[in-house]
Amino acid sequence: MTEAVATRTLSPSAARMQARVNRPLLFAGWSLMKLPSALFAGVRLESLTPDRCTTSVPYGWRSQNPFRSTYFAAQAMAAELSTGALGLLAVEDAGVPISLLITGMAATFGKKAVARATFQCEQGATVFEAVAAAKATGQAQTFVLNTVGKMADGQEVSRFAFTWSVKVKRRPTG
């Protein structure tokens, strides 16, 4: 028996953001302004839903290290985007100004990445819950998002755990 998964209804502004970043040309334009190093390395956002985000980074001259594999920093950019895009979507959905900040990162590396590596984070619910709690309580919330990078043949190349903090921004007093 399959359990039905509830689909989160996004605010109109978050739904527009999701639609924009899921279009490769619009995402490239956004990357040019906000993440030019990731754009240069070839990092792509493959898909973003409220539940999960999938990104990728190619193996090639723009992302390789001297050991003929994808440089760990290029992998980290794709991995961070797979968690950070979920955070940006949840923050946009909240409807109030919220800061989103990485406070820690841990990584392990398995096989050499010698082909496109795809990273997937499936913890969207964690992000939306933390943002809702920050909005409701006014207190900063900290949470860890995990993402795994694999090549097309299924070989795992790396795992990342990013510690994020969300906090409602204080309005300046006048």
At how many degrees (to 10) do helices 12-21 and 72-94 cross? 160
Domain membership flag for residue 174 = no
Q: Where are the beta strands (DSSP E) in 110-171?
A: 117-121, 141-151, 156-168
4 lies in some domain: no
In a domain, 2, yes or no: no
CATH of the domain at 29: 3.10.129.10
Q: What percent of the chain clears pLDDT 70, i.e. is strictly above it?
A: 94
Task: Give percent above pLDDT 90 in the chain.
Answer: 81
Of 160, 164, 163, 165, the C-alpha closest to 73 is 160
6 falls within a domain: no
Instruction: Judge whether 19 lies within some domain.
Output: yes
Mean pLDDT score, 129-141: 95
Q: Residues 16-74: pLDDT tens digits?
A: 999 999 999 999 988 899 889 999 999 999 999 999 999 999 999 999 989 999 999 99
Residue-range definition of the domain harbouring residue 70: 12-168
The pTM (predicted TM-score) of the whole model is 0.90
In a domain, 173, yes or no: no
pLDDT tens digits for 106-127?
Answer: 999 999 999 999 999 999 999 9
* Residue 5 placed within a domain: no
Flag whether 74 is in a domain: yes
How do beta strands 156-168 and 141-151 pair? Answer: antiparallel
Residues 6+ apart with CB under 8 A from 63: 41, 42, 57, 70, 71, 74
**Tally of structural domains, the chain:** 1
Tokens of 118: 């795809």
